[in-house]
């Protein structure tokens, strides 16, 4: 599977993980869901960084989680989305899209080794 698809899945699991964490504060039964979603999110992120540079993948992964958690927090928990917050979320989304568009297609790999002579 494409690294970007793995990263998208990782971000979705990250949103679920944050939501399960919130729900586990009042309903302990969500702790297992939190743990499962955390493992899935990290596994997908690990697969994504095989082909996407670490810093880029991590920034986008956390951005997806942040935007998704804020939107779900508003829908599910009645958290306030002010015009300022919506504008800042739009800016964050624009930055994430910009990071994706500015990424090179070269696969990520280990740092080059220095020759010891």
In tens, the pLDDT along 39-69 reads: 999 999 999 999 999 999 999 999 999 999 9
CA nearest neighbour of 59 among 1, 22, 102, 109: 102
Cα separation, 87 vs 89, in Å, equals: 5
- Specify the pTM: 0.81
Q: Residue 102 has what pLDDT?
A: 87
Q: Averaged over 30-41, what is the pLDDT?
A: 97
Cα separation, 101 vs 28, in Å, equals: 41
Question: Between helices 54-77 and 83-102, what is the axis angle to 10°?
Answer: 150
How many percent of the chain have pLDDT more than 70?
88
């Amino acid at each position: 599977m494409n690294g970007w698809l793995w990263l998208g899945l990782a971000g979705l699991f990250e949103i679920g993980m944050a939501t399960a964490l919130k729900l586990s504060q009042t309903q302990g039964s969500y702790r297992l869901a939190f743990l499962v979603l955390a493992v899935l999110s990290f596994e997908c992120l690990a697969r994504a960084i095989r082909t996407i540079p670490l810093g880029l993948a991590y920034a986008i992964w956390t951005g997806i989680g942040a935007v998704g958690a804020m939107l779900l927090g508003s829908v599910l928990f009645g958290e306030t989305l002010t015009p300022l917050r919506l504008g800042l979320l739009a800016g964050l989304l624009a930055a994430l899209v910009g990071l994706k568009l500015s990424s090179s297609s070269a696969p990520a790999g280990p740092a080059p080794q220095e020759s010891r002579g």
